[in-house]
Chain A
Amino acid sequence: MPPARAPVKRTAASSSAAGPSTSAPRAKIPRAGPSQPDIKPRIGGTATTKGKAPLRPAITVPAIDRKPEINQGEEEWQDLMKRTYGGQKGADWYAKGVKTVEDKWELLPAFLKVKGLVKQHLDSFNYFINVDIKAILAANAHVVSDINPYYYIKYTDIRVGQPQRHDSNQVASRLTPMECRLTDSTYSAPIFVDIEYQGEEKRNKQRGVQIGMLPVMLRSDLCHLSGRNEAELARMGECPMDPGGYFVVKGTEKVILVQEQLSKNRIIVMRDSKKDEVMAEVTSSTHDRVVKTYVVTKNKRVYLRHNSFKEYIPIVIALKAMGITADKEILQLICGSDERYQEAFGVSLEEAAKEKTFTRRQALEWIGARVSPNQAKDDGSYAQKLTPVDIAMQALAAMVLGHVPVRNMNFRPKCIYLATMARRVLMAMIDEHMVDDRDYVGNKRLELELKKRMDKILEKKSRAGPFDAGSLIKQGGDPITSAFVRSISTGNWSLKRFHVERAGVTHVLSRLSFIAALGMMTRISSQFEKTRKVSGPRALQPSQWGMLCPSDTPEGEACGLVKNLALMTHITTDVPEEPLIKMAFMLGVEDISLLTGNELYRSGVHLVQVNGSLIGVTHTAKKFVTTFRKLRRAGRTSEFVSIYINHHQKVIYIASDGGRICRPMIIVENGRPRVTTEHVRLLKEGKVTFDHFLRAGLVEYLDVNEENDSFIACYESEIDEGTTHLEIEPFTILGAVAGLIPYPHHNQSPRNTYQCAMGKQAIGAIAYNQLNRIDTLLYLMTYPQQPMVKTKTIELVGYNKLPAGQNATVAVMSYSGYDIEDALILNRASLDRGFGRCHVLKKQTIPMRTFPNGTHERTAYPDPLPRPDAYAFVDRADGMTAPGATVNQFDVMIHRETPVDTRGAATEGYKPSPITHKLPEPIQIDKVMITEGEDGSLIKILTRQTRRPELGDKFSSRHGQKGVCGLIVPQADMPFNDQGINPDIIMNPHGFPSRMTVGKMIELLSGKAGVLAGKLQYGTAFGGSKVVDMSQILIDNGFSYGGKDMLTSGITGQPMEAYVYFGPIYYQKLKHMVMDKMHARPTGPRANLTRQPTEGRSKDGGLRLGEMERDCLIGYGATQLLLERLMISSDAFETQVCETCGMLGYNNWCPKCKSGKGVVGLTIPYAAKLLIQELMGMNIMPKLCMEDSV
């Protein structure tokens, strides 16, 4: 235990107010003096209990060595900590402690300020830049020439600069992400290495050699945007609300999705009930390879399975080969003194004896004969042939359980590890419940794939290495840059060395709405196959509480496989484990290599594992764990190290590896949360940050495994004796997207899931720089509003600043018949005033290509004009339209000319290749941008269209209640209440009973109360404004408490027979609009091969009469209609057939019979003619036999 400081001394110091600080040398921070009148007197008051012995000695003192940025609050914070941990705790201190912590949710914005919503991406990238890249380099540092081993290159250091323009002629200047988006270039920074290589005579050293460019994640440490304020961001054309965490590659924004996979280097036990087999699996991952090792049972015997071996190796032989030759020792290592295990393992021991392997050498020879040949070749790069013993030795040392190091041929750690695996298998054989759950979130690691591609590249480099040094490095530059760019822009990761081949790792950042972009950053994709029909991995896991959002998952095939992070989660990065091991030994853990099997499994003994490898045992498990946790709270280890006891396995697990999900929680001690209202007050005043709470041990991070070892109260009232932690805020179990739903706890759960999908399609504001962006497709709402009923999450993610929807006054009633099946009735006057109005911005990129012979495309004004109408807005000076122009169908936007000859000698001839507008609706030109791209000049045109809602446009509320506009009604015909208020939307009440979206009803009530009170109401999950309060506001304003109003029909002028539920609901306009889908064609283009009509609206295609429709016509017997649909209106073809031979002829001539005698004309589908000819091409002769028609 850390030494307790004498608290009495401090009491004296603080009660004598201004006296010189007598306490410890930590007094760097100014003492609380008279400058704090509001706190001081209270201390004086409690000082009446002076001299009373401290109830609890101070355990932690806030670490002062790491100096926080905020200094003004520091004094007060120190003072507060003193009072909390110091000796002097009077009666009213306890009284205060009992009081509930007000506004403890304020910790959440504080957390987000430090961590941000996309911290997992930024952390991962920063870790890669600062730590991992160096480790990878170190693993591949030495490159020796294959031809002459005398020559070599050694990398000594690696650095990454800041993003800059990579011109050769210009001085390096700052490159902003916005410029990259506009110019279709990559936001990347140079990578420098220091090298050392063998020249002809002497060794040369070179510093700062650029080996390539690395794409930089936005808002990471390397990015120019990190740590900038709003004004600076605006200057660079960035939106302050943009979360960052993505790359800009060739002008497109790319996100690397978080991947979920089973944890590496951990034993996972599975059971196959059909085959009655138990299997323990470990995926060993090191910096240079990833290998899987299994311990399996077959016929009740235990075997080792590994790719290096042709067949199963009996576990006893494997252990003997690794140096444990005594059967007794093996038995003790695996079974301990438990007779049940010994009995179950006996068969396996016998088997080894049957194979006549008793000594280590025999075992090695046995294994050596079974090492799979290609494996041996892979490893054996040495020229001389290896003996089977050496081969076996090598395979066991390097391949089997590769993450357990073998130093100086000391196989002891590996033996114990293998024995543990075998023991776990035995345990599972005897007791079915000892199986691990693959889907348990604690067994999962979330990985951002950054790391792997670097390996690949350096490996490539080492292959290129052998010829010579110096000049070689320079030519090495290109592959690295292009490999990075390619892997990010295509999303294909293939790493031979790690047996990884993965497609679709990166995605284009969806900018449909702000929420869509945000939702993409928190997405997690699973490695499971979508087609397999297993429910396990798709199900909602109890252990994902608070870590992954329970609502936000897609419907359909990816359901439950694509998940989203909850609001307060954090994904860890690697923390070095050596200090942890040292610390464990200091806390009394006995080293594993000094113990025999007998000592390992005695009762009361707990094994200690650090990141999956056994380091030792302890007899005082509880004490060890609590002390370790205290040290962590004191900041002696990283806050992301987790420790917990598995009571079944009697193992203490310490984890410090990357990819664990964890979340912060308030620590509860002695039945009281350590965070008090006082602390929160300082936080609210902005004087302290989340880090203060963390460092002072008031709050800590728990990962899923440690959560299971804790007793967490959801609310303060639930705290009792054993409680160890308190939730910061229950609504954080939802993610950023589900957090937009008001009163989600009142909805049927699938409705929340539907809204999560639809919220991403809502049209609204995208970013502050939305009008400066040139995206392929951008939907913007003309007049977005923030919701009347918001949630805390909405404020935290900034949805109220970049909203996507409008508060519509809704009447829940029936109106005409145009509102069935969820259709909505819209008020025409509301549309005139701008309800649901949106812009559609589209981009056209026109690169000016350069050809091999040096000629390039150009823009020009044609003379004479081919179609004067189409060129009305084209400027004479540059052959381009200017912003503001209206362009109709087939009008020219840019008159581009392409050289006639692009291969041979450069000539003067140009042929026009104009860019025209193709769609029937006229568009406005919004922007014309010209720039110098990476290859040649580049023109981008942004076109704009303003759309008002029309029949068939899709709308949705925030409760998964979507509907299309069924009718637009003049305001005069809409119902009105006694104040003359009309609804904007009429919704059919049939939408409620089966959907059970009570949240929507409460939203209406709160919204209405908000309107009347002139306030925004809250609909936060598990909280929010109460219905009773809302009803009271309605009553106070002269409305019915239930939210119903008396309406008068606009058509008849008579009062309605029933009261109507009437009030504002936030409605989103979704991106599916009739204008983009409406399509019909009389006749039009046909496909070349089959001469049938083309397919799809974009190609002006026909509407297909499919096979099911065909079946209907057959069933009805409508032969003439069938003939007309399938042939005459499609691909009728006039051809000729020779009656004598049955083959196709032409020009009244049969080429086979060499005569025109029996040739007759007929009409067949062109596709049939094609089939006949294709069959003939395959040496099959189809014959057409004619019959007289009746």
Chain B
Amino acid sequence: MSQQNRYTQQNPNPMPDRNIPKPPDTIEYICGDCGAKTAMKPSELIRCRECGHRVMYKPRTTRIVQFEAR
């Protein structure tokens, strides 16, 4: 039995499919200063479009993450 089946059987609210939502093709990075989102391509200069700050963070993953609660 695959993991996917187990969820649907045991869980009344089945987990969404692992591949949905799909990761976007370009990622909007979050500015470390003003929090605005800027889409950047790998070759581009790393800079916030709003404030010109140069520290950018990657947003949280869209994939589903499970933790073991201990």
Q: Within 8 Å CB of B58, what residues of A?
A: 878, 880, 882-883, 927-930
Q: Within 8 Å CB of A928, what residues of B?
A: 57-58
Task: Render A294-334 as a binary contact track against B, CB cut-off 8 A, 1 for contact.
Answer: 00000000000000000000000000000000000000000
Does B12 touch A at the CB level, under 8 Å? no
Q: Are A884 and B61 in contact (CB-based, < 8 A)?
A: yes
Q: Are B56 and A877 in contact (CB-based, < 8 A)?
A: no
Tell me, in angstroms, the Cα distance from A886 to B61 when the chains sit together: 10
Q: Are B61 and A929 in contact (CB-based, < 8 A)?
A: no
Q: Within 8 Å CB of B60, what residues of A?
A: 882-884
Q: Are A931 and B55 in contact (CB-based, < 8 A)?
A: yes
Q: Within 8 Å CB of B45, what residues of A?
A: 932
Q: Within 8 Å CB of B57, what residues of A?
A: 883, 927-930
Task: Render A378-393 as a binary contact track against B, CB cut-off 8 A, 1 for contact.
Answer: 0000000000000000
Q: Give B28's nearest chain A residue, CB to CB.
A: A877
Q: Are B47 and A932 in contact (CB-based, < 8 A)?
A: yes
Q: Give A859's nearest chain B residue, CB to CB.
A: B42
Q: Within 8 Å CB of A886, what residues of B?
A: 65
Q: Are A875 and B54 in contact (CB-based, < 8 A)?
A: no
Tell me, in angstroms, the Cα distance from A264 to B19 when the chains sit together: 73
**What is the CB-to-nearest-CB distance from A837 to chain B, in angstroms, rounded to a whole number?**
10
Given A858-B42, A929-B32, A937-B46: A882 and B59 interface contact (C-beta under 8 Å): yes
Tell me, in angstroms, the Cα distance from A860 to B57 when the chains sit together: 17
Does B25 touch A at the CB level, under 8 Å? yes
Q: Are A875 and B32 in contact (CB-based, < 8 A)?
A: no
Q: Are B61 and A882 in contact (CB-based, < 8 A)?
A: yes
Tell me, in angstroms, the Cα distance from A927 to B29 when the chains sit together: 12
> How many of A's residues come within 8 Å of B, CB to CB?
29
Tell me, in angstroms, the Cα distance from A931 to B56 when the chains sit together: 6
Does B26 touch A at the CB level, under 8 Å? yes
Q: Within 8 Å CB of B23, what residues of A?
A: 875-877
Task: Render B20-35 as a binary contact track against A, CB cut-off 8 A, 1 for contact.
Answer: 0001111101001000
Q: Are A182 and B32 in contact (CB-based, < 8 A)?
A: yes
Does A955 touch B at the CB level, under 8 Å? no
Tell me, in angstroms, the Cα distance from A873 to B61 when the chains sit together: 8
Which among A859, A877, A929 is the interface contact of B26 at CB below 8 angstroms? Answer: A877
Q: Within 8 Å CB of B32, what residues of A?
A: 182, 929
**What is the CB-to-nearest-CB distance from A727 to chain B, in angstroms, rounded to a whole number?**
48
**What is the CB-to-nearest-CB distance from A1096 to chain B, in angstroms, rounded to a whole number?**
30
Q: Within 8 Å CB of B29, what residues of A?
A: 930
Does B63 touch A at the CB level, under 8 Å? yes
Does B6 touch A at the CB level, under 8 Å? no
Tell me, in angstroms, the Cα distance from A927 to B56 when the chains sit together: 10
Q: Within 8 Å CB of B27, what residues of A?
A: 875, 877-878, 882
Task: Render A861-887 as a binary contact track against B, CB cut-off 8 A, 1 for contact.
Answer: 000000000001101111111111110
**What is the CB-to-nearest-CB distance from A353 to chain B, in angstroms, rounded to a whole number?**
79
Tell me, in angstroms, the Cα distance from A931 to B32 when the chains sit together: 10
Tell me, in angstroms, the Cα distance from A139 to B55 when the chains sit together: 43
Q: Give A883's nearest chain B residue, CB to CB.
A: B60
Q: Are B61 and A931 in contact (CB-based, < 8 A)?
A: no
Q: Within 8 Å CB of A883, what residues of B?
A: 57-61
Q: Are A877 and B25 in contact (CB-based, < 8 A)?
A: yes
Per the 8 Å Cβ criterion, residues 668-714 of A in contact with B are: none
Given A182-B32, A877-B25, A878-B42: A885 and B65 interface contact (C-beta under 8 Å): yes
Q: Within 8 Å CB of B42, what residues of A?
A: 858-860, 878-879
Does A948 touch B at the CB level, under 8 Å? yes
**What is the CB-to-nearest-CB distance from B52 to chain A, in angstroms, rounded to a whole number?**
8
Does A732 touch B at the CB level, under 8 Å? no
Per the 8 Å Cβ criterion, residues 929-975 of A in contact with B are: 929-932, 937, 948
Q: Within 8 Å CB of B54, what residues of A?
A: 179, 183, 931-932
**What is the CB-to-nearest-CB distance from A533 to chain B, in angstroms, rounded to a whole number?**
52
Tell me, in angstroms, the Cα distance from A490 to B60 when the chains sit together: 37
Q: Within 8 Å CB of A881, what residues of B?
A: 61
**What is the CB-to-nearest-CB distance from A54 to chain B, in angstroms, rounded to a whole number?**
64
Main secondary structure of the interface of A (DSSP, over half): mixed
Task: Render A178-192 as a binary contact track against B, CB cut-off 8 A, 1 for contact.
Answer: 010011000000000
Number of A-B residue pairs, CB cutoff 8 Å, is 73
> How many of B's residues come within 8 Å of A, CB to CB?
24
Q: Are B65 and A884 in contact (CB-based, < 8 A)?
A: yes
Q: Within 8 Å CB of B61, what residues of A?
A: 873, 875, 881-885, 925
Tell me, in angstroms, the Cα distance from A875 to B60 when the chains sit together: 11
Tell me, in angstroms, the Cα distance from A873 to B45 when the chains sit together: 25
Q: Within 8 Å CB of A882, what residues of B?
A: 27, 58-62
Q: Are B55 and A183 in contact (CB-based, < 8 A)?
A: yes
Q: Give A941's nearest chain B residue, CB to CB.
A: B58
Q: Within 8 Å CB of B46, what residues of A?
A: 930-932, 937
**What is the CB-to-nearest-CB distance from A1109 to chain B, in angstroms, rounded to a whole number?**
38
Given A858-B42, A875-B23, A932-B46: A885 and B63 interface contact (C-beta under 8 Å): yes
Tell me, in angstroms, the Cα distance from A179 to B56 when the chains sit together: 11
**What is the CB-to-nearest-CB distance from B66 to chain A, in angstroms, rounded to a whole number?**
8
Tell me, in angstroms, the Cα distance from A884 to B61 when the chains sit together: 6
Q: Give B45's nearest chain A residue, CB to CB.
A: A932
Tell me, in angstroms, the Cα distance from A375 to B26 when the chains sit together: 70
Q: Within 8 Å CB of B59, what residues of A?
A: 882-883
Tell me, in angstroms, the Cα distance from A860 to B54 when the chains sit together: 21
Tell me, in angstroms, the Cα distance from A876 to B63 when the chains sit together: 12
**What is the CB-to-nearest-CB distance from B5 to chain A, in angstroms, rounded to a whole number?**
19
Q: Within 8 Å CB of A929, what residues of B?
A: 32, 55-58
Tell me, in angstroms, the Cα distance from A731 to B54 when the chains sit together: 47
Q: Give A848's nearest chain B residue, CB to CB.
A: B42
Which among A182, A872, A876, A948 is the interface contact of B55 at CB below 8 angstroms? Answer: A182
Tell me, in angstroms, the Cα distance from A738 to B11 when the chains sit together: 56
Per the 8 Å Cβ criterion, residues 577-613 of A in contact with B are: none
Tell me, in angstroms, the Cα distance from A873 to B57 when the chains sit together: 16
**What is the CB-to-nearest-CB distance from A94 to chain B, in angstroms, rounded to a whole number?**
63
Tell me, in angstroms, the Cα distance from A873 to B47 when the chains sit together: 25
Q: Are A873 and B63 in contact (CB-based, < 8 A)?
A: yes
Q: Are A930 and B56 in contact (CB-based, < 8 A)?
A: yes
Q: Within 8 Å CB of A859, what residues of B?
A: 42
Greatest chain A CB density within 10 A among B42, B62, B65 is at B42
Task: Render A892-936 as a binary contact track against B, CB cut-off 8 A, 1 for contact.
Answer: 000000000000000000000000000000000101111110000
Q: Within 8 Å CB of A858, what residues of B?
A: 42-43
Tell me, in angstroms, the Cα distance from A24 to B32 when the chains sit together: 59
Tell me, in angstroms, the Cα distance from A408 to B60 when the chains sit together: 76
Q: Are B55 and A877 in contact (CB-based, < 8 A)?
A: no
**What is the CB-to-nearest-CB distance from B19 to chain A, in angstroms, rounded to a whole number?**
11
Q: Within 8 Å CB of A875, what residues of B?
A: 23, 27, 61
Q: Within 8 Å CB of A872, what residues of B?
A: 63
**What is the CB-to-nearest-CB distance from A697 to chain B, in angstroms, rounded to a whole number?**
49
Tell me, in angstroms, the Cα distance from A883 to B29 when the chains sit together: 12
Tell me, in angstroms, the Cα distance from A925 to B59 when the chains sit together: 11
Tell me, in angstroms, the Cα distance from A928 to B40 when the chains sit together: 14
Q: Within 8 Å CB of B26, what residues of A?
A: 877
Given A183-B55, A883-B60: A877 and B65 interface contact (C-beta under 8 Å): no
Tell me, in angstroms, the Cα distance from A886 to B47 when the chains sit together: 28
Tell me, in angstroms, the Cα distance from A930 to B24 when the chains sit together: 18
Q: Give A772's nearest chain B residue, CB to CB.
A: B32
Q: Within 8 Å CB of B43, what residues of A?
A: 858
Q: Give B29's nearest chain A residue, CB to CB.
A: A930
**What is the CB-to-nearest-CB distance from B50 to chain A, in angstroms, rounded to a whole number?**
15
Q: Within 8 Å CB of B70, what residues of A?
A: 948
**What is the CB-to-nearest-CB distance from B12 to chain A, in angstroms, rounded to a whole number?**
25
Task: Render A544-571 as a binary contact track against B, CB cut-off 8 A, 1 for contact.
Answer: 0000000000000000000000000000
A-B contact pairs, 5 of them (CB 8 A): A877-B24, A882-B61, A925-B61, A932-B45, A932-B46
- Going nearest first, the 8 A-B pairs with the smallest beta carbon separation are A882-B61, A928-B58, A884-B61, A877-B27, A884-B60, A931-B55, A932-B46, A932-B54
Q: A875-B61, A878-B58, A927-B57 are in contact. List 18 more A-B contacts (CB 8 A).
A: A179-B55, A182-B32, A182-B55, A183-B54, A183-B55, A859-B42, A877-B23, A882-B59, A882-B60, A882-B62, A884-B61, A884-B65, A885-B65, A928-B58, A929-B56, A930-B56, A931-B56, A932-B54
